[in-house]
């Protein structure tokens, strides 16, 4: 179904072409929810920009649009205001029929895309390295994007581009041997393991020498070396899966397509670049010059794809991965979620694909970049001793802290229930703090803010959901029995809430196109706030509320609860029924 924003946009587009001609078919009517009943339910702001193009004044342009516009039986009235805003008032029964359609649909009224395939490349931790706070962002943002696209009916293929290849495996394997690789023990702490290997590599010439030889053996396919290498991968996967489990993300072992998977496709990448006439030599290395990239002196900036010793690079692997995703996975769109320090890398890879004609399927390539997590000193977030913060530690602390915050609420829950609530709220708060800030920007990590029960936080949203559940519990009413077609919108707060509910579809669509989950967070926060002001002004269960009005308000509340739950789910955040 079409939400009001889309429906209005279509009606306005039609009016604009009728009034001004087909040249204006692609003009965006700029429909926005007004946010204030004084200015109607929605506003169209197109007249101001259109005026310049058609050479008339904005109010005349607005008048022409209004005269031509056909809102069928759903428009109440139109007003032209100020310099040329068009205020749109919609009929209450139109809004109610929209709400009923949304409520009747398992996808809350969202149209389903027909099977377009989207690859989402996210998380991508590195073998034998501890996942840190930086991986939180890729994992959480990527997972939310995957969920949103899936909810919209895309076929989502998650790809975990695990870093499992490179010269560092020489020292890691040697360290594994020295620590007793065969003893059947597990690496308890990846961070200590990696740092230990690195320290020995830097300080012990004999170890360094062994490590170097080990790299050669690994690249040469020596079976014993490969076994040790696989052990490192399996050990690391245990750690990653533990983190994914706690975090509640969708990634499984099936989503792993690690760097080494592409090893035997790398020579083919070089051949393809050569055949496309893109391969150049620079100081013994094989390079590509992606158009538009210059070094500091203004000279063409190369992307190395094969070192002078024959070794391949991160970029070579990414070129092979793109080919695989286009040709084997048949992706229509490929989305990469990494921090903004890799922006140039992806821009160069995408440009290379373009100029070498390797994009055989016309797939759309997107880099979803994000900023850094900062500490209170506004420097990259570190532990007190200046170490990187382990993701696992962060999650554990989130749960402990949320337990403390929730203790003040003193709900009558069993110990187990309390633990579960603390986990859901704590992990939810951690993820939400990350998702709710504009991803491009850095954000300051702040426990108190993310766990606050007021404000744009997960605890606030989960609490709003719990509150609605408790209304139904108090009234002893089954949430599934309410009838959205019986909703009446007599009070301003009811209408405002209805309008907010009807924006859900448009917001989710905008997350899918912009790949910016914070838009959904902002929306859910506004929805929850809208619910709270509705609930203050419009009693639901009080004795003097007529039964029809009570049922209408219950139906409205039920739809808010469902929308909150679905919305949070799209962010990868759970809800609880009481807290
Ligand atoms: N392993 C990389 C890192 O930790 C992330 C991989 C991103 N995906 C890719 N196709 N390059 O930075």
| Cβ–Cβ under 8 Å, residues 86 and 79 | yes
Protein residue whose Cα sits closest to atom 6 of ligand 1: 124
Residue to probe by mutation, ligand 1, list 133, 161, 194, 261, most atoms within 8 Å of CB: 161
**Higher pLDDT, residue 123 or 182:** 123
pLDDT recorded at residue 383: 86
| Cβ–Cβ under 8 Å, residues 75 and 91 | yes
pLDDT digit string (tens) for 358-397? 998 899 999 999 999 999 999 999 988 888 899 999 999 9
pLDDT recorded at residue 365: 97
Number of neighbouring beta carbons within 10 Å of residue 294:
10
Number of neighbouring beta carbons within 10 Å of residue 225:
21
Sort 74 into a burial class: Cβ within 10 Å, 0-12 / 13-18 / 19+.
middle
pLDDT recorded at residue 410: 65
Confidence bin at 183 (pLDDT 50/70/90): low
Which residues, including other chains, have CB under 8 Å from residue 93's CB and lie 6 or more apart? none
Q: Which atom of ligand 1 is nearest to the CA of 162?
A: 1
Domains along the sequence of the chain with CATH: 4-90 (3.30.1360.70), 168-255 (no CATH)
State how far the Cα of 176 lies from the Cα of 184, in Å rounded to an integer: 12
The percent of residues in the chain predicted with pLDDT above 90, rounded, is: 90
SS3 88: strand
pLDDT digit string (tens) for 414-455? 999 999 999 999 999 999 999 999 999 999 999 999 999 999
Confidence bin at 209 (pLDDT 50/70/90): very high
pLDDT digit string (tens) for 331-368? 999 999 999 999 999 999 999 999 999 998 899 999 99
Protein residue whose Cα sits closest to atom 7 of ligand 1: 124
Number of neighbouring beta carbons within 10 Å of residue 40:
21
pLDDT at residue 86 above 80?
Answer: yes
Q: How much is the mean pLDDT over the chain?
A: 95
pLDDT digit string (tens) for 254-290? 999 999 999 999 999 999 999 999 999 999 999 999 9
pLDDT at residue 411 above 80?
Answer: no
Least Cα distance to 516 among 154, 158, 141 occurs for 141
Which residues, including other chains, have CB under 8 Å from residue 445's CB and lie 6 or more apart? 133, 373, 374, 375, 376, 381, 433
Q: Mean of the pLDDT values across residues 241-266? A: 97
Tokens of 481: 């029995």
pLDDT digit string (tens) for 463-484? 999 999 999 999 999 988 999 9
pLDDT recorded at residue 37: 86
Q: Mean of the pLDDT values across residues 92-106? A: 95
pLDDT at residue 306 above 80?
Answer: yes
Q: Mean of the pLDDT values across residues 104-111? A: 94
Residue to probe by mutation, ligand 1, list 338, 341, 343, most atoms within 8 Å of CB: 338
Q: Is 124 in the pocket of ligand 1 (CB under 6 A)?
A: yes
The percent of residues in the chain predicted with pLDDT above 70, rounded, is: 99
Q: Is 130 in the pocket of ligand 1 (CB under 6 A)?
A: no
User: Kind and range of the H or E element at 33?
Assistant: strand 31-33
Least Cα distance to 425 among 400, 391, 443 occurs for 400
Cα of first residue to Cα of last residue in the chain, in angstroms, is 35
Residue to probe by mutation, ligand 1, list 334, 342, 370, most atoms within 8 Å of CB: 342
């Amino acid at each position: 179904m079409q939400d009001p924003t889309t429906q209005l946009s279509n009606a306005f587009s039609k009016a604009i072409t009728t009034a001004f001609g087909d040249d204006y078919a692609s003009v965006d009517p700029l429909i926005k929810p007004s946010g204030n009943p004084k200015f109607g339910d929605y506003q169209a702001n197109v007249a101001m920009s259109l005026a310049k193009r058609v050479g008339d004044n904005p109010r005349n342009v607005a008048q022409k649009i209004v005269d031509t516009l056909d809102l069928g039986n759903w428009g109440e009235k139109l007003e032209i205001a100020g310099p040329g805003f068009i205020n749109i008032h919609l009929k209450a029964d139109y809004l109610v029929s929209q709400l009923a359609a949304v409520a009747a649909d398992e996808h809350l009224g969202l149209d389903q895309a027909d099977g377009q395939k989207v690859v989402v490349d996210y998380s991508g931790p590195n073998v034998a390295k501890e996942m840190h706070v930086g991986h939180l962002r890729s994992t959480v943002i990527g997972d939310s994007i995957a969920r949103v696209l899936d909810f919209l009916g895309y076929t989502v293929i998650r790809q975990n581009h695990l870093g499992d290849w490179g010269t560092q495996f020489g020292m890691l394997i040697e360290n594994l041997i020295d620590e007793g690789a065969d003893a059947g023990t597990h690496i308890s702490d990846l961070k200590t393991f990696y740092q230990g290997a690195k320290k020995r590599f830097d300080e012990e010439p004999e170890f360094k020498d062994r490590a170097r030889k080990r790299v050669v053996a690994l690249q040469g396919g020596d079976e014993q070396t490969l076994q040790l290498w696989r052990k490192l991968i399996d050990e690391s996967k245990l750690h990653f899966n533990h983190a994914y489990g706690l975090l509640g993300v969708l990634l499984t072992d099936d989503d792993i397509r690690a760097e080494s998977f592409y090893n035997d496709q790398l020579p083919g990448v070089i051949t393809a670049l050569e055949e496309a006439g893109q391969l150049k030599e620079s100081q013994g290395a094989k390079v590509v010059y992606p158009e538009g990239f210059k070094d500091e002196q203004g000279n063409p900036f190369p992307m190395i794809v094969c070192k002078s010793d024959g070794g391949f690079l991160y970029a070579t692997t990414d070129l092979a991965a793109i080919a695989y995703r286009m040709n084997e996975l048949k992706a229509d769109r490929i989305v990469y979620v990494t921090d903004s320090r890799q922006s140039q890398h992806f821009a160069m890879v995408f440009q290379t694909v373009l100029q070498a004609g390797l994009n055989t399927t016309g797939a759309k390539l997107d880099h979803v970049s994000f900023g850094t997590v900062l500490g209170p000193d506004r420097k990259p977030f570190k532990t007190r001793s200046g170490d990187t913060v382990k993701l696992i530690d962060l999650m554990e602390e989130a749960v402990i802290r949320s337990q403390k915050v929730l203790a003040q609420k003193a709900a009558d829950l069993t110990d187990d229930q309390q633990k579960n609530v603390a986990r859901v709220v704590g992990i939810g708060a951690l993820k939400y703090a990350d998702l709710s800030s504009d991803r491009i920007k850095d954000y300051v990590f702040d426990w108190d803010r993310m766990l606050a029960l007021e404000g744009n936080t997960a605890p606030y949203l989960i609490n709003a959901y719990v509150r609605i559940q408790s209304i139904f519990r108090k009234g002893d009413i089954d949430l599934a029995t309410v009838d959205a077609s019986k909703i009446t919108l007599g009070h301003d707060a009811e209408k405002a809430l209805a309008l907010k509910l009807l924006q859900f579809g448009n917001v989710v669509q905008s997350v899918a196109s912009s790949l910016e989950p914070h838009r959904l967070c902002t929306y859910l926060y506004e929805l929850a706030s809208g619910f709270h002001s509705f609930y203050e002004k419009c009693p639901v269960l009080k004795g003097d509320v007529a039964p029809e009005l009570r049922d209408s308000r219950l139906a409205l509340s039920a739809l808010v609860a469902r929308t909150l739950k679905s919305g949070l789910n799209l962010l990868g955040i759970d809800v609880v029924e009481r807290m």
